Amino acid sequence: MNRQTKPEELKEVPTVHFKETQYGFEYGDVEITRVCSDGEKGWVLLGLKTSKYKHDGTKKSEIQIYITKTGKVRTFSDGEWIAPTHKEKGQYK
């Protein structure tokens, strides 16, 4: 609130759905869950589901995010890894 805004002029800010789940959380239209991890090797696999990418029981249609111990990130969706494309060394398109 800046000095020129009076409290009666403030509008109510709409809230976004948030709920903690057993292995993650829901925020808006997305659900983030911990799929699995390896404490010794240090990697983590997260799942991301939205109304477009939901697991329907017949195929994996969630987006999976694999994070290595060193912080490298790979994404996996609908059966194939999506590798980042490089313009030049160290730069993404």
Q: Which two tokens stand for residue 34?
A: 């911990």
Q: What are 30-68's pLDDT values in tens digits?
A: 999 999 999 999 999 999 888 775 555 555 567 889 999
Q: Alpha carbon 76 to chain centroid distance? A: 12
CA dist., res. 26 & res. 42, Å (int): 25
Whether pLDDT at 91 is above 50? no
Between these two residues, 5 and 34, which has the higher pLDDT value? 34
**Residues facing residue 74 across a β-bridge:** 66
Look up residue 85 and give its DSSP letter: P
18 and 25 Cβ atoms separated by less than 8 Å:
yes
Three-class secondary structure of residue 39 per DSSP: coil
Domains of the chain, residue spans: 17-82
Q: What is the pTM of this model?
A: 0.63
CA dist., res. 46 & res. 80, Å (int): 16
